[in-house]
Structure 1
Amino acid sequence: MGKLLRSLFFSLSIVWIVFFAVCSAIKSPLKDGPAAAPMAARGPIDGNYTYVCDESRFAALGLDMTDFYYCDSSAPYEVRAKDLVDRMTLSEKVMQTGDQASGVERIGLPKYNWWSEALHGVSNFGRCVFFDEVVPGATSFPTVILSAASFNQSLWKTLGQTVSTEARAMYNLGNAGLTFWSPNINVVRDPRWGRILETPGEDPHLVGLYAVNYVRGLQDVVGAENTTDLNSRPLKVSSCCKHFAAYDLDNWKGTDRVHFDARVSVQDMAETFVLPFEMCVKEGDVSSVMCSYNKINGIPSCADSRLLKQTIRGEWDLHGYIVSDCDSVEVMAIDQKWLDGSFSDYAAQALNAGMNLDCGTFNNRSLTEAVKLGKASQADLDHSLRYLYVLLMRLGFFDGIPAFASLGKDDICSAEHIELAREAARQGIVLLKNDNATLPLKSVKNIALVGPHANATDAMIGNYAGIPCYYVSPLDAFSSMGEVRYEKGCADVQCLNETYIFNAMEAAKRADATIIFAGTDLSIEAEALDRVDLLLPGYQTRLINQIADLSTGPVVLVIMSAGGVDISFARDNPKIAAILWAGYPGEQGGNAIADVIFGKYNPGGRLPITWYEADYVDMVPMTSMALRPVESLGYPGRTYRFFNGSTVYPFGYGMSYTNFSYSLSTSHRSTNINLRKLQRCRSMVYINDTFVPDCPAVLVDDLSCKESIEFKVAVKNVGRMDGSEVVVVYSSPPLGIAGTHIKKVVGFERVFVKVGGTEKVKFSLNVCKSLGIVDSTGYALLPSGSHTIKVGGDNTTSVAFPFHVNYIN
């Protein structure tokens, strides 16, 4: 990332805020969409060519391509990559280990910039993507936390496919690379974390399924998804799951991510922090994993061979490369001083641990010495480079991929993609309150649109965003539907004084309905900026209450935020009839919110995180990594799996304009597992005098795990409006087991049901995955006894049934 950006990342929060403000200013809306511009005569390689192994390109360099076996497209990628690497000197090899690989002109290898971003659309945050007169913008979809709220796996994959189409088109035009360091799949442990907007939420299974689907959307080439040799599987673009692992603190009360040592139990690592990454690699076949800044139990993640070489590369069989978070190796040497050695010691340690690419220049400066002094082997360096070049060959960097050659300007910011941005935002929006069926609004002639987000533009696209095709703010959307009086109520989201509240109150007095847009933005929660409380900033609460008191028509509150906000005052205020959470809804956010409020779309989103009450932050410091309650310190549990206190809104909460009923059918409610001679029963810790089975549990690794739980849920729409229902399945372990979860998500489906209609959803759950637990020593166990399967959330119609696991000797 370089020293300048590095200083921005790790300096005081105010510097980071200013940086984002500057970036936001650059992202000015293109009012009428991207203007047409003549296509420049350029290509992604050497300014003219679209792939490396072009005979005319070699001729222009004074080389004969037939002399270079790495350009023989009939040879296996691994053989070609070895030929390429073997042609380099040590110093030339080292110069390819940073994100700005220099290339080697004498052997026909061009430079390559590895750092592109595509978290929720193609972003110019990295070094490789840029916008200009040829590509003035790209579709900016909702931030991940809102897309996750849709609980719709097919939507997540479609988003990935669409983003990769625009990314590949931009690569063809010379405006982007092929390797995109997205998505962020860190589980949300604490509501104060500043990067919640980038993540799919607090449940490891939900996060893992988001990762699998988004990665598949980005990477898969239709027809080649199940290639036998996954190391040669062609890729549309390369995706990267980050940040591995236990990374969820940026800058909180003087503790920052580069100095933080995450003290994590083996139990929490296995069942929470590592699980989504395992799913991403094994099921998503992601082609890259990024290690994080923080230390884990004393060892920097990018220097831990157990995590990188043994787990990601070995146990999970990664088909791709491992990259550091930007300047992580330099952080080890300068900030963490982990080895108390020379720079070459740190470069060697990262390479020996299994890190293949340094986002930064530290390895470029230090790795040659490390090899010459014998601290690292040139053979390991060769292996790392081969991983990189095999990946680039799979992407068509060397040979091209004809199926994507025609993608260009017309495939960026298309009408279809912009409509998908609107649909994704609509699917994620969560209805939190709707007294007396106030929404959808009807027969409203004039509206007061007030609050700091009422005319939001850049705030809607959050961070890791590029320049959108164009913005549709709430003010734009509502103004197109009727008479609107707009008053911002606050100078900005910080809302540091009451100057603008009076005018907002006057507008509300004269309106048939008042819609208040409040919440947070990147000045409150962002990378390198964690929150210290869960309240609305400044005078926003006073603004909302005073407007509600004076309004003559119904009041609707719309919250834009990533993390939860304690709005219990609004939830309990009878003068506030309805509340929506809209996350950061992307470039089409205004249209999506208007569609929901006026009933063009029936909301069906569910909260992917718990919204805690404000005093939660006084109970536990962010630096405590424990998920389970710590009774000796009075710390409560974290996330819906371990926290049993009162909440503003629970995980999975979400209302609809219609009503649904469930009925359930299942052919069996138990499984008998015959134990063989070497399958041994394992003891567990039980609470008090709870009945202990003869065989409490068996190691999952000792079981075939072929058993499944199969059932069907009939979802009937018994209301007055067509709509979507999210059917969530939870499992709870047998009663009495100490230290395990209250419940956990084991499956979900989003289903659209017409009024009076019924749709059936079939679930087939693996018994080991769905009913298994992790004990305090890190063993995965399948307990015997009566587990509970519950379908539905706390605020929806639900059905449940017991499922028995019986071990027979």
Structure 2
Amino acid sequence: MAKLKSLLALFTLFTILVACSARKTPSTTPRTSTIIAKKTFGNFSGHVCDAERYSQLGMEIKDFAFCDSSLSYQVRVKDLIDRMTLEEKVRQLGDTAYGVPRLGLPLYEWWSEALHGVADVGQEGSKATYFDDIVPGATSFPNVINTVASFNETLWKAIGEVVSNEARAMYNLGHAGLTFWSPNINVVRDPRWGRTLETPGEDPYVVGVYAYSYVRGLQDIEGTENITDLNTRPLKVGACCKHYAAYDLDMWLGANRRTFDARVHQQDMVETFQRPFEMCVKEGDVASVMCSFNEIDGIPACADRNLLTDTFRGEWNLHGYIVSDCDSVKVMFKNEQWLHDTPEEAVSQALNAGLDLDCGFYYKNYTGNAVLQGKVRESTIDNALTNLYTVLMRLGWFDGNKKLEALGKSDICSKENIELATDAARQGIVLLKNANNSLPLNPDKHKTIAVVGPHANATEIMIGNYAGNPCKYTSPINGLSNYAKVEFHRGCGDVACKNESMIYQTMEAAKNADATIVLVGLALEFEREEHDRTDLLLPGYQHQLIEQVSKLSKGPTIVVVMSGGVVDLSHAKHSNDTQAIIWAGYPGQEGGQAIADVIFGKHNPGGRLPLTWYPANYTDMLPMTSMQLRPDDALGFPGRTYKFYNGSTVFPFGHGLSYTKFAYNLKKASRKVDIKLNKFQHCRDLNYTAGMFKPSCPAVKVEDMHCDEHIEFEVEIQNKGKMDGTETVIVYSVPPENIEGVHIKQVVAFKSVFIRAKETATVKFVLNVCQSFFVVNYNAYKLLPSGGHTVMIGDKVLSFPVQIKIKDH
């Protein structure tokens, strides 16, 4: 009883402090107040509307309608907001929502991260997630760029399910929040971008499928996935698709994301930058989206009503909240000096545009004055709070969720979770070269191996960024030691490899080993948030390390590259001294075991590159600040991403080898679609190459169609080799020839298929005609062209024509 009285006294004191602080003229609210509050009360777990909890606070729960579970969420949220003063409302608009002690509403931290595992990333004092002796770590999966290389959406969802189970378990233990600002679904436009490792690659469709698959894994609770009222659909945790929009530059030769104005053609906005976000909202039912720092055509993304309210809520019907990238509202005032606003005007612009939550302090500091100055309505704040508290209702923060309350410490870093992390790393590894079938190595033949290079004993480097404490590490040396005797030499002092004096030792080791494995690549000092690259080369003397070791190696030389972004490996690709190349990305806590399993054939690689690997001189062709995707012959610019790039590659998008051989056979396919327009549908024009045939009805707007036409086909795939393996089937559509300014090809479907040696599998694809064969014209219309399209599987492994005939009414 004495302890309870002490807690009540502290709670009362905090109430007084909050009330006094709310009456002050807004200035700068220090993070220290948050830290004091959290040290006093800790991370809140359990649920708000607990009768015993209210009794301990000296309150009657029946006095608060927002705790009456018989009422609708809409009624309850309105009751909660209506009870707050303006000052109390304003104090809920930051990533640290201070709560309202007089209503029994506790502090809530919105900021947690779960990019590839539960992470303790965030500003000190305002992050909900932390590790200690009770929860020392969480499963650290491969970075997103690795996971996407599997082209396995079942795996993507499974990882989301494990991450959210661990997150919910940590919440139950008071070590995490319920809202996680992940995944990052920005398309990789330029290979120099430092955050490439966090993303699902360069294809907007693949990025979108990853987005909704991972979000569904994070959010869905079994049995409630298909509830029709999405404003009441329960959530395991709340995911967040970020950063919207046209954000893919951090810090490059003086240009930085806080002042960068992305000048984007609307054609590219529709076709590339917005598509993954639309899929995330419509098909993933994501609980939140985050707007980015940058301006787009002169308007900050977080103050653009067209992007936020009109698009997210109007066109795409978001059921959730919109949050800023951290301090974006402050950046609008301090860095961008947009419209030369005062702080009150900056917060008003963002609120009126539809930004609900400020990761930062500008909303909490200046919104009160903005209302008094008549720059924003209090009802606009009410709308923002409605979006926020409705999500917290769906998460069970008010009422709890009995299905999830049993999750605890045993669900974190379990044997099953660690094995999934290992399998994810294996599935994401891409075999780029395998001359003379040098891989896999044979443990009976390759008994002694030289393991050299700056990443040979990698641990922390393998988990990349936005990571927490992993359950454990399995380094490449650890993994390879399970198969052979290892002689280890770094060859470089560190990843920068600025000194070549250590290379001699690796050369001597290679002379005597049955095989040599060279582990090279990048690290967060070269590619990360706030740091873009200026070239596509391996750092320092790493190239020389590969060249000199491979020349003297007694056995085969295998190069393993750890990186998120692409590197020019042209020399190793063409060298007869380098037998094999593997891209391992940043493979997570079990990366070393996964690499070893691939090298020694326990796992047959099936990964494919989610990025185009350009030659090094690509970076000389156009500055990173140019947002252009399509080629420009006048500038000598060959375009960006496989969809538009017309130059030579080191390795193309979708490239990846296997230890076995697969043969394809088209069993059956529908090849013709006839579309007759009604009186409300009209033919649209397209630009064709001069002198080429032009259909009488060139195209129709996709939004004018019912879009219920489909193309179906079946592909028979035979594993003709001696090893079981996974074949990654990537399907592209190619538009009719001679339409100007459209993509070369685009991914429209993919499947990862496991086939045992000498066996055959049949894979069926059903393609929606509107979604698979559309183009985006210069005016940013999505059009379905008439004429001869092509369905292509892989890199021209198999293809067949599809004739789409559009008849005018």
| Shorter-chain TM-score range | over 0.9
1:573 maps to which residue?
Answer: 575
Contact persistence 1:629–1:636 (CA under 8 A): yes
Q: 1:247 to 1:395 in 2, by over 3 A?
A: same
Structure 2 partner of 1:769 = 771
**Equivalent in the alignment of 2:311:** 311
Q: 1:49 to 1:713 in 2, by over 3 A?
A: closer
Equivalents in 1 of 2:555, 2:40: separation in Å?
57
Q: From the superposition, tell whether residues 46 and 577 of structure 1 become closer, same or farther in structure 2 (CA, over 3 Å).
A: closer
Question: For the Cα contact (< 8 Å) 2:43–2:176, is it kept in 1?
Answer: no
Corresponding position of 1:534: 536
Contact 1:45 1:51 in 2 (8 A): no
The offset of 1:506, in angstroms, is: 1.1
What is the aligned counterpart of 2:725 among 723, 726, 734? 723
Q: Verify the 8 A CA contact 2:43 2:175 in the aligned structure 1.
A: no
Does 2:77 correspond to 1:81?
A: yes
1:453-482 residue CA offsets vs partner (Å, 9 max, x unmatched): 000000000000000000000011112322
Q: How does 1:579-728 map to 2 (within 5 A)?
A: 579-728=581-730
Q: CA deviation at 1:807?
A: 2.4
Matches for 1:430-441 after TM superposition, within 5 Å: 430-441=430-441
Q: Which letter does structure 2 place at the counterpart of 1:696?
A: P
2:48 to 49, 52, 62: 52
Aligned mate of 2:562, from 540, 560, 563? 560
Tell me how far 1:47 sits from its aligned partner: 5.7
Give, in whole Å, the separation in 2 of the partners of 1:464 and 1:342. Answer: 33
Over aligned residue pairs, what C-alpha RMSD do you find? 1.6
Where does residue 261 of structure 1 map in the other structure?
261
Alignment of 1:272-671 (within 5 A): 272-442=272-442, 443-671=445-673
- Residue 798 of structure 1: CA displacement? 2.7
Distance (Å, rounded) in 2 between the aligned partners of 1:573 and 1:600:
27
Q: How many aligned residue pairs are there?
A: 771
Q: Contact between 2:29 and 2:361, CA under 8 Å: does it hold in 1? A: no
Q: CA deviation at 1:44?
A: 13
Aligned mate of 2:102, from 102, 106, 109: 106
CA deviation vs aligned residue, 1:199-246 (integer Å, no higher than 9, x gap): 000000000000010000000010000101000000000000000000
Deviation at 1:355, TM superposition (A): 0.3
1:155 matches 2:155: yes
Partner Cα distance (2:672, 2:612) in 1: 32
Report the secondary structure of 2:338's partner residue: coil
Q: Which amino acid aligns with 2:360?
A: G
Give the whole-Å Cα distance in 1 for the aligned partners of 2:390 and 2:542. Answer: 53
SS in 1 for 2:163: helix
Q: Distance in 1 between matches of 2:453 and 2:591?
A: 16
Alignment deviations for residues 32-88 of structure 1 (CA, whole Å, 9 cap, x no partner): xxxxxxxxxx99986675110111211222211100000001111111011001100
TM-score (norm 2): 0.94
- Structure 1: which amino acid aligns with 2:306? R
Task: Tell me which of 779, 782, 787 is aligned to 1:780.
Answer: 782
Q: Percent identity?
A: 59
State how far apart, in whole Å, the 1-side matches of 2:685 and 2:166 are: 54
Q: Do the aligned partners of 2:250 and 2:532 also contact (CA within 8 Å) in 1?
A: yes
Q: Partners in 1 of 2:290 and 2:40 — Cα distance?
A: 25
Residue 171 of structure 1 corresponds to: 171
Distance 2:758 2:735 in 1: 35
**Which residue is equivalent to 1:95?**
91
Partner of 1:10: none
Amino acid at match of 2:133: E
CA distance in 2, matches of 1:583, 1:215: 22
Distance 1:484 1:47, change over 3 A: closer
Aligned-partner Cα distance in 1 for 2:807–2:652 = 35
The residue aligned with 1:28 is none
Distance 1:49 1:178 in 2: 10
Task: Report the CA distance shift for 1:527/1:781 in structure 2 as closer, same or farther (over 3 A).
Answer: same
CA separation in 2, counterparts of 1:763 and 1:473?
Answer: 39
Cα 1:641–1:47 shift into 2, 3 Å:
closer
**Are the counterparts in 1 of residues 28 and 361 from structure 2 also a CA contact under 8 Å?**
no
Q: What SS does the aligned partner of 1:538 have? A: coil
- Report the 3-state secondary structure (helix = DSSP H, G, I; strand = E; otherwise coil) of the residue aligned with 2:544: helix
Aligned partner letter, 2:261: D
List structure 1 segments (4+ residues) > 4 angstroms apart after TM superposition: 2-6, 42-49
Q: What is the aligned partner in structure 2 of residue 26 from structure 1?
A: none
Deviation readout 1:286-307 (Å, 9 max, x if unpaired): 0100000000000000000000
Deviation at 1:804, TM superposition (A): 2.9
Tell me the distance in 2 between the aligned counterparts of 1:65 and 1:322: 30
8 A contact 1:786–1:802 mirrored in 2: yes
1:106 maps to amino acid = R
Which residue is 2:143 aligned to? 143
Verify the 8 A CA contact 2:422 2:590 in the aligned structure 1: yes
Q: Is contact 2:113-2:466 (8 Å) kept?
A: yes
- Amino acid in the other structure paired with 1:221: I
The amino acid across from 1:773 in the alignment is V
Given that 2:449 and 2:513 are in contact with CA atoms closer than 8 Å, whether structure 1 keeps it comes out as yes
Write the distance in 2 (CA, Å) between the matches of 1:701 and 1:118.
Answer: 35
Kindly indicate whether the alpha-carbon contact (under 8 Å) linking 2:290 and 2:323 is maintained by their aligned counterparts in 1.
Answer: yes
Q: Deviations over 1:247-288 (max 9, x none)?
A: 000000000001100000010000100000000000000010
CA contact (8 A) 1:187 1:200 kept: yes
C-alpha distance in 1 between matches for 2:720 and 2:676: 44
- Measure the CA separation in 1 of the matches of 2:804 and 2:718: 28
Measure the CA separation in 1 of the matches of 2:515 and 2:803: 50
Q: Does the 8 Å CA contact 2:267/2:778 hold for their aligned counterparts? A: yes
- Kindly state the Cα deviation for residue 667 of structure 1 after the two structures are TM-superposed: 4.4
- Tell me by how many angstroms 1:711 deviates: 0.6
Cα distance between partner residues in 2 of 1:676 and 1:178: 49
Q: CA deviation at 1:801?
A: 3.0
Amino acid at match of 1:389: Y
Distance 1:53 1:313 in 2: 29
Preserved CA contact (<8 Å) 1:44 1:50: no
Find the counterpart in structure 2 of residue 33 from structure 1: none
Alpha-carbon distance, 1:341 to partner: 1.9
For the residues of structure 2 that align with 1:808 and 1:721, how far apart are their CA atoms? 53
Kept after mapping to 1: 8 A contact 2:699/2:806: no
Distance change (3 Å), C-alpha of 1:45 and 1:788? farther
Which segment drifts farther, 167-176 or 659-668? 659-668
Query: How far apart, in 1, do the equivalents of 2:501 and 2:802 lie?
Result: 58
Distance of 2:351 and 2:219 partners within structure 1: 26
Amino acid at match of 2:65: Y
For 1:108-167, what per-residue CA distance to the aligned partner results, in whole angstroms no more than 9, with x for missing partners?
100000000000000000211100000000000000000000000000000000000000
| Partners of 2:702 and 2:314 in 1: CA distance | 20
Give CA-to-partner distance per residue, 1:660-687, whole Å, 9 cap, x none. 0111133421111111122111111111
Shift of 1:5: 13
After superposing the two structures, state which structure 1 stretch, 71-80 or 136-145, moved more: 71-80
2:117 alignment counterpart: 121
Question: Do the aligned partners of residues 99 and 717 (structure 1) sit closer, same or farther apart at CA in structure 2, a change above 3 Å counting?
Answer: same
Residue 244 of structure 1 is matched in structure 2 by 244
TM-aligned CA deviation for residue 499 of structure 1: 2.1
Question: Unaligned 5+ residue runs, structure 1?
Answer: 7-41
